Amino acid sequence: MTADPLAPLDLAFWNIETPGNPMHLGALGVFAAPSATAAAHAADLLAGRAAAVPGLRMRIRDVWGPLTAPFSLGGAVREPDPEFDPLHHVHLHAPTADFQAASGRLMEHPLDRGRPPWEAHVLPGEAGDGFAVLFKFHHALADGLRALTLAAAVLDPMDLPAPRPRPTAPARGLPEVRALPGLLRGALSDALSDVGRALDIGASVAVHTLGVRSTTALTAGPTGTRRTGGVAVDLDDVHRVRKVVGGTVNDVLIAVVAGALRTWLDERGDGSAGVTPRALIPVSQRRPRTAHPQGNRLSGYLMRLPVDDPDPLGRLGAVRAAMDRNKDAGPGRGAGAVALLADHVPALGHRLGGPLVGQAARLWFDILVTSVPLPGIGLKLAGNPVTEIYPYAPLARGQSLAVAISTYRGLVHFGLVADAEAVPDLDRFARALATEVETLITACGS
């Protein structure tokens, strides 16, 4: 494998990171196991399999000289680490009675930027009848889909259905000379369209920063501390609400987050009156067989969560309407698409402006609510099945809470990452998520 320049958004994630705000995402998988030695065996398997996965051998190296063009000055490359040792990345810990508490402490620590930026932490259960594995991947190395692919490569092989054959695309010859003026006109039109889209996104960002009543519960100084939590709810219950009210499963889950925030804020005494935090909902723009198949291709929707609405069905209706407006506009426009502007910034701009961009995240959105896809088939390690899996999103500088959601084997798992000092009661918010599902079911009369 040869050196591959980081895609613009990957480079942005690499340069935004600070010691107090690491830019890694994570996933905590809980495994049922029959013996106390299962965790040690799992750690050995992970280390042995990691050595054979090319994507896990890739480090990120800063480059100050031009790579292929002056535009790359100040960029970085993804390249094989000639000294790769999986034992630097796979760690077996002492038994613990609380997987979430242990994960929170581990999520605080940035990944080693001199090595391939990933880790797998094996956490034996104190009772000896199960274990958990916390995977950490730097966002510059992998987005959610890519992280899932890398993690699956070190789990037990999955029996996947055979892929359908792709139709062969007709061969395309070089354009004729007489077609070049048309091509130039098309290129100019595309460039003007890009400029217009950039201006539209910038204007939308400015509008969304006006008239905001924020809450201290969702803002925090960069303490560098982390707490993780999670809760699982029945997917059938979510479908019961969706079938009565309409919309999508994602609409219902976002409304659950809004309702849980309302309950949580009121219980802790902060109050929910007039609070409509801006939620960033990432949207994958990944396309198969692109020039950067490993790179992040993200846009997003930005919406106000109707936390101040006391009616659970009213909150769900507001979420549905906001998501419909976002979908009508498309993920390429609006304030949520600001990540796409990374493609128009030279590498040196990312290098010099990364810290400033990281500090500006709180001006753009208040809370991240993201969905991470998981396969429908069962995941195993050393024959031990996954019973729970909680995704964790990076926590932006100046923000105190991020929510990631995955559906696996009939359950919806909410993975929570919070600033430990700003949110000492994260377990209360986790309980509020489960309660809000029941509230919606009751409101639907089902």
pLDDT tens track of the chain, all 446 residues?
A: 577 888 877 888 888 888 888 999 999 999 999 888 999 999 999 999 999 999 999 999 988 655 444 445 568 899 999 999 999 999 999 999 999 999 999 999 999 999 999 999 999 999 877 999 999 999 999 888 888 889 999 999 875 454 555 555 444 443 444 443 443 344 334 433 443 444 344 444 444 544 444 566 787 767 889 999 999 999 999 999 999 999 999 999 999 999 999 999 999 999 999 999 989 888 765 554 443 445 555 567 888 999 999 999 999 999 999 999 888 876 555 544 444 344 444 444 444 444 544 455 566 788 999 998 887 788 999 999 999 999 999 988 888 999 999 999 999 999 999 999 999 999 999 999 999 999 999 999 86
Tell me, what's the pLDDT at 165? 55
3-state secondary structure the chain: CCCEECCHHHHHHHHHCECCECCEEEEEEEEECCCCCHHHHHHHHHHHHHCCCHHHHEEEEECCCCCCCHHHCCCEEEEECCCCCHHHCEEECCCECCHHHHHHHHHCCCCCCCCCCEEEEEEEECCCCEEEEEEEEECCCCCHHHHHHHHHHHCCCCCCCCCCCCCCCCCCCCCCHHHHHHHHHHHHHHHHHHHHHHHHHHHHHHHHCCCCCCCHHHECCCCCCCEEEEEEEEHHHHHHHHHHHCCCHHHHHHHHHHHHHHHHHHHCCCCCCCCCCEEEEEEECCCCCCCCCCCCCEEEEEEECCCCCCCHHHHHHHHHHHHHHHHHHCCCCCHHHHHHHHHHCCHHHHHHHHHHHHHHHHHHCCEEEEECCCCCCCCEECCEEEEEEEEECCCCCCECEEEEEEEECCEEEEEEEECCCCCCCHHHHHHHHHHHHHHHHHHHCC
Torsion of CA 218, 412, 160, 133, to 10 degrees: 60
- pLDDT the model gives residue 187: 36
Instruction: Give this prediction's pTM.
Output: 0.83
pLDDT score, position 294: 53
